[in-house]
């Protein structure tokens, strides 16, 4: 079965976070985010503007309220 591209990006962001931290995920999203539909929004747990994919923060994995409203 072929992996969902969204899950692939989320997994990659998690691996980057585990290895190199939050700043590395931000750099990854800035560099490759437009290719996969990453948006930016306020993440309460991160206390910063963070990359989001399908309503979930790519840094900490927390779903945003927007995810539940759509």
Question: Residue 50's pLDDT is what?
Answer: 94
Does position 68 have pLDDT exceeding 90, yes or no?
Answer: no
Model confidence over 7-57: pLDDT tens digits? 788 899 999 999 999 999 999 999 988 888 899 999 999 999 999 998 899
pTM for the structure as a whole = 0.79
Contact 10, 38 (CB under 8 A): no
d(CA 62, CA 59): 8
3-class SS of residue 21: coil
């Amino acid at each position: 079965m072929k992996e969902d591209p969204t899950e692939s990006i989320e997994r990659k962001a998690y691996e980057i976070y585990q290895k190199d931290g939050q700043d590395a995920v931000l750099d990854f999203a800035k560099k490759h985010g437009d290719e996969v539909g990453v948006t930016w929004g306020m993440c309460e747990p991160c206390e910063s503007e963070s990359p989001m994919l399908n309503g979930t923060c790519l840094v900490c994995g927390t779903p945003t309220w927007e995810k539940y409203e759509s």
